Amino acid sequence: MNVEKYVAVVDIGRLGKPAIVAHGGAGGWQVERVGEALQVLKKAVEVGLKQKTALDMVVEAIAVLEDSGILNAGIGSVLTFDGRVQMDAGLMYRGWAAGVGAVSYPRNPIRLAKEVYTRTRHVLLVGADADMLAAKLGLPKHPGPSASNFEKWVKSRMNAKKLKWAAPLLQLYGDTVGAVALDQEGHLAAGASTGGISLKHPGRVGDSPIPGAGYYAEDGLGACSATGIGETILLGMVCRKIVELLSKKSPVEAVKHVLYEHTSRFGADTVGVIVLSAEGEAVAGINTRAMPIGYGGMRSGVMLLERNGKVLEP
Ligand code: ASP
């Protein structure tokens, strides 16, 4: 397999310190929805840049994306096979990580992950007990499936009558969100949030709450956030691999290396990443059709990265 044909990497360039990069998921991306997604990413970057610590930059930027309702996270989360919202989110900052898996209660799972990070020494809380913590802390409650996602769920269940208990994974993902940030002090953070894969089996947890897989940050090296088919990202430990490679390769080379390897192992249409180095250099890569990106620092902007390497900038 000529993997280079399926992978596109863009060197966003030096953003300095502070800096932030956010994405709206690596998936199919129909043209008519891109404009809206880029607007939301622009806002997320602006809100992120107003924060002081890299942790808050990532949390607040992701919360904007979760609240948008047009991306597969928070309010816009896709539904499980039996029509429920079950979300995953996680973040890493200053050598520690915290994630929540298969949660339904919080409107903003990334805020619950921050509570786990600041209040406990646990790395992962899941399901009903994580939901109970969100309720106990008084976090805003998720309103339940959005009308448009419910409609899509009804249609996809009708189109897929053969399916008995969960959809096959391929091509049923998209629009997950993530962010990476570098603050004034030089600390790095990474985070991810998702409704997961639509028609997933209830209880399925993907890469987004797992450090090393869906996100990873190490001061002095870099930060990475991933999107795509969570099962492949978990097996590939994509973000940890990329961040570790930053000790000996440039960000562009590190992303290419891991995405080529991932594509030859799992095929195309499986992964997308955003990466920020400790020097504030930003890079993004995909082996999917496209990924919308927002970035800010010394320079700010939005772009759609396409598989053929084309970058559309409004
Ligand atoms: N990575 C997410 C998951 O597998 C889905 C996505 O990125 O769209 O849960």
- Ramachandran area for residue 8 (φ above 0: left; ψ -120 to 50: alpha; else beta): beta
Per-residue pLDDT of the chain (314 residues; tens, 9 = 90+): 799 999 999 999 999 999 999 999 997 777 778 999 999 999 999 999 999 999 999 999 999 999 999 999 999 999 999 999 999 999 999 999 999 999 999 999 999 999 999 999 999 999 999 999 999 999 999 999 999 999 998 988 887 667 777 776 555 667 899 999 999 999 999 999 999 998 999 999 999 999 999 999 999 999 999 999 999 999 999 999 999 999 999 999 999 999 999 999 999 999 999 999 999 999 999 999 999 999 999 999 999 999 988 999 98
- Which amino acid, 90? G
Q: What is d(CA 23, CA 238) in angstroms, rounded to the nearest whole number?
A: 16
Report the separation in Å between the CA atom of 200 and the middle of ligand 1, taken as the mean of its atom positions: 11
C-beta neighbour count of 10 within 10 angstroms = 21
User: Residues lining ligand 1, CB < 6 A?
Assistant: 25, 72, 88, 173-174, 176, 194, 196-197, 206-208, 227-230
User: Is 227:176 a contact under the CB 8 Å cutoff?
Assistant: yes
Q: Rounded CA gap, 62 and 298, in Å?
A: 21
Extract the tokens encoding 199: 């028609």
Biggest CA pair distance of the chain? 54
What's the structural domain count of the chain? 1
CA distance 152 to 146: 10
CATH classification of the domain holding 39:
3.60.20.30
Q: Whose CA is nearest to atom 8 of ligand 1?
A: 174
* pLDDT attached to residue 170: 54
Among protein residues, the one whose CA lies closest to atom 9 of ligand 1: 196
pTM over 0.85: yes
What are residue 98's phi and psi, to 5 degrees? Answer: -150, 140
The parent domain of residue 177 ranges over: 3-312
Active site annotation includes 232: no
φ/ψ (deg, to 5) at 6: -100, -10
Structure tokens at 97: 């990580």
Distance (angstroms) between ligand 1 centre and the Cα of 197 equals: 6
Q: How far is the CA of 174 from the centre of ligand 1 (A)?
A: 6
* pLDDT the model gives residue 38: 96
Instruction: Tell me what pLDDT residue 173 has.
Output: 63
Whether the CB-CB separation of 21 and 284 falls below 8 Å is answered with yes
